[in-house]
Structure 1
Amino acid sequence: MDPAEALRRIAFLLEWSGASPYRVRAFHTAAGALTGLPPGPVDPARARQLPGIGPVTAQVIAEASDGRTPGYLRRLEEAAGPAARSGWQLASAAQGDCHLHSDWSDGGHPIEEMAAAARALGHRWAVLTDHSPRLTIAHGLSPERLRHQLDAVAAYNGRDGAFRLLSGIECDILDDGALDQEPGLLDRLDVVVASVHSKLRSDPETMTGRMLAAVRNPRTNVLGHCTGRIVTGRGRPQSRFGAEAVFAACAENGTAVEINCRPERRDPPDDLLRLAADAGCLFAVDTDAHAPDQLHWHTTGYARAARVGLTRDRLVTTWSGERLLAWAGSAHA
């Protein structure tokens, strides 16, 4: 395996074992720093000159570039056992990603670069989900700008037949549970991710009612980062809501629960992920990527999915584009 794959397999296994999100992200960052690295052996001192590379990641790069299985990776694989290997196979089955951002809202890269990165991973489709109007801090899309984006997505798909960029939105769930975009425009989108971004410290009864209204809305396909928590830096506590009621409504209405792959989120937490799995929910393993290399974070989401026993039939991001569209479109029927 090449050094980047070795680093990402290590990130996957660290997530599998519940390691610190800082460690997980460090290996993803190191893998991303290898872009343009010429083939052939790389000694640790040379690797250390790359941005974001420390002594451990440099040794992994040196060993993998020399055709060896890095010792650090081998030790993690032995500790994790065969179940983790099954989890990696699950990650390899990924067909797409339901949640990514471009520079139309708060992402840092054009639509074409985000789509190219998804295609380079082997994905067959990805959903562009820039933010909705009320999230002004993230440069959310007004109805007029969303109409222009729909034209841009259609133009992109006219140039590339092997990969499909699906139209979507990360729609803010308003205080009353309504979705923050014109209903007629939401009907034109392939996939709608609905997320709470405000008043995350509301009392549980208020938050539960708000979320129930959103997941029961026939235009909602995916419930995004359901607790809103941040587990790194200063952090942010998870919101409080009636998880059993919300996940039961997701299962009843065919709304997928997002497994958000961002290392600082790990949302939902393990206990709620198990609760949603037991409720019979579908899931979308989503990177919430704001830059091309962040699309690689999908492997850590699949590590969490495999750890609670989820299989491909429950993970909409392993489905073909045709099956995904049939599922998402049935919500509007």
Structure 2
Amino acid sequence: MDPVKALKQVAFHLERAGEPTYRVQAFRNAAAVLADLDPAEVEKRAKLGTLTDLKGVGKSTAGVVQDALANREPSYLAKLRHVDITGGEELRAELKGDCHVHSDWSDGGSPIKDMAEAARDLGHEFMVLTDHSPRLTVANGLSRDRLEKQLEVVAELNVELAPFLILTGIEVDILDDGSLDQDDDLLERLDVVVASVHSKLKMPRADMTKRMINAVRNPHVDILGHCTGRLVVGKGRPESQFDAERVFEACAEHGSAVEINSRPERLDPPRRLLSLAVDAGCTFSIDSDAHAPGQLDWLNYGCARAEECGITPDQVINTRSASQLLSG
């Protein structure tokens, strides 16, 4: 086993397990250090026991390298593989891509290429890059100029990574009146637009209902992101209050899919609202909302909840190929 690849796999599985960023970064940093060395030097240092003399390589990362060079699965990696995400396997197997992914252009932790390669290695045919819009300054949201530059980068990467495809997109803020936080002409150029509420989550029910309906009526909106805004871990955050039946009816009428957000701290919307969306005739997008490569493998969480609510593959837009998604 290649030691650099082994270190990256450990980092991936740590992210998948929701481990702290500093721990993940330790393995990514070690991988970067070794990638710059001649493989013969790495082997020599492993034999002499001097790997930890390298800045960025500690006892745990050196142990992974030793195991990899001995052609055995690193024990550190073996333990992480036992952290299984169960449920939703049949629907997960039908997904061809992920429609909500962040990079280090906004508040993600990894470059676009790293996210794309991880998605490809998971068996995806495509991913939609959906970094934040400018109003969300805390997430380093993209101005018009930065988003236009990102489109150029994506075009270059698509040549390099073909046949894997990065679809252009944005997670655009739904403003207080339901308008969107980016210019219409730029939104029109994007492949997929995810619209989400990130501010004034305690807005009165009637006002929030109107706000969300105005957003999903916008012809540029393809997906309504994490609709309740809830958080279910730590101190948590309560659901935003809105007339779910009216909002989901508007989604169905205007062709905006309801996102099933797979992040463990969100799991949004809750099952009772998912059932209402099914009854309203909505389509769905099961997304990871990944901010790091390992989080791309959280889709089973969303798939399990979708299956529990009777959602079938034909109701999920990312079971379609990229060409079908764009033409639909």
Q: TM-score range by the shorter chain?
A: 0.7 to 0.9
- Provide the C-alpha distance between the structure 2 equivalents of 1:213 and 1:93, rounded to a whole number of angstroms: 32
Give TM-score scaled by structure 2 length: 0.77
Alignment pair present for 1:150 and 2:139: no
Instruction: Describe how 1:139-288 pairs up with structure 2 within 5 A.
Output: 139-288=140-289
Q: Cα offset for 1:320?
A: 0.7
Query: Hey, what does 1:296 align to over in structure 2?
Result: 297
- Provide the C-alpha distance between the structure 2 equivalents of 1:300 and 1:313, rounded to a whole number of angstroms: 19
- Provide the C-alpha distance between the structure 2 equivalents of 1:269 and 1:309, rounded to a whole number of angstroms: 14
Partner of 2:167, secondary structure, is strand
Give TM-score scaled by structure 1 length: 0.76
Q: Which amino acid aligns with 1:214?
A: A
- Provide the C-alpha distance between the structure 2 equivalents of 1:160 and 1:270, rounded to a whole number of angstroms: 37
CA contact (8 A) 1:229 1:238 kept: yes
- Provide the C-alpha distance between the structure 2 equivalents of 1:312 and 1:270, rounded to a whole number of angstroms: 17
CA contact (8 A) 2:98 2:287 kept: yes
Instruction: Describe how 1:96-107 pairs up with structure 2 within 5 A.
Output: 96-107=97-108
Cα distance change of structure 1 residues 264 and 126 upon mapping to structure 2, 3 Å threshold: same
- Provide the C-alpha distance between the structure 1 equivalents of 2:172 and 2:323, rounded to a whole number of angstroms: 23
Q: How big is each residue's C-alpha offset from its partner over 1:177-200, in whole Å with a ceiling of 9 and x where there is no partner?
A: 001001000000000000000000
Cα distance change of structure 1 residues 192 and 26 upon mapping to structure 2, 3 Å threshold: closer
Q: Cα offset for 1:175?
A: 0.5
Partner of 1:284, secondary structure, is strand
Q: How big is each residue's C-alpha offset from its partner over 1:195-221, in whole Å with a ceiling of 9 and x where there is no partner?
A: 000000011000000000000100000
Instruction: Describe how 1:64-103 pairs up with structure 2 within 5 A.
Output: 87-103=88-104
CA contact (8 A) 1:28 1:297 kept: no
Query: Hey, what does 1:28 align to over in structure 2?
Result: 17
- Provide the C-alpha distance between the structure 2 equivalents of 1:290 and 1:27, rounded to a whole number of angstroms: 11
Alignment pair present for 1:109 and 2:92: no
Q: Which amino acid aligns with 2:111?
A: P
- Provide the C-alpha distance between the structure 1 equivalents of 2:237 and 2:155, rounded to a whole number of angstroms: 38
- Provide the C-alpha distance between the structure 2 equivalents of 1:184 and 1:120, rounded to a whole number of angstroms: 34
How many corresponding residue pairs?
271
Q: How big is each residue's C-alpha offset from its partner over 1:90-124, in whole Å with a ceiling of 9 and x where there is no partner?
A: 11111000001000000011000000011001000
Alignment pair present for 1:318 and 2:319: yes
Partner of 2:116, secondary structure, is helix
Partner of 1:97, secondary structure, is strand
Partner of 1:98, secondary structure, is strand
Following superposition, which runs of at least 4 residues in structure 1 exceed 3 angstroms of deviation? 25-30, 32-42
Identify unmatched segments of 5+ residues in structure 2: 1-13, 29-63
Cα distance change of structure 1 residues 225 and 199 upon mapping to structure 2, 3 Å threshold: same
Q: How big is each residue's C-alpha offset from its partner over 1:146-196, in whole Å with a ceiling of 9 and x where there is no partner?
A: 100011111111212210000000000001100100100000000000000
Cα distance change of structure 1 residues 26 and 96 upon mapping to structure 2, 3 Å threshold: closer
Q: How big is each residue's C-alpha offset from its partner over 1:276-331, in whole Å with a ceiling of 9 and x where there is no partner?
A: 1111100000000000000000111111111111111100111111110112xxxx
- Provide the C-alpha distance between the structure 2 equivalents of 1:26 and 1:172, rounded to a whole number of angstroms: 26
CA RMSD, aligned part only? 2.5
Q: Which amino acid aligns with 1:180?
A: D
Query: Hey, what does 1:131 align to over in structure 2?
Result: 132
Q: Cα offset for 1:28?
A: 3.2
Partner of 1:171, secondary structure, is strand
CA contact (8 A) 2:16 2:297 kept: no
CA contact (8 A) 2:180 2:215 kept: yes
- Provide the C-alpha distance between the structure 2 equivalents of 1:160 and 1:290, rounded to a whole number of angstroms: 20
Larger Rg over CA atoms: 2
- Provide the C-alpha distance between the structure 1 equivalents of 2:16 and 2:214, rounded to a whole number of angstroms: 39
Q: Cα offset for 1:40?
A: 4.9
- Provide the C-alpha distance between the structure 2 equivalents of 1:261 and 1:130, rounded to a whole number of angstroms: 17
- Provide the C-alpha distance between the structure 1 equivalents of 2:226 and 2:273, rounded to a whole number of angstroms: 11
- Provide the C-alpha distance between the structure 2 equivalents of 1:140 and 1:296, rounded to a whole number of angstroms: 24
Identify unmatched segments of 5+ residues in structure 1: 1-24, 62-72, 78-83, 328-333
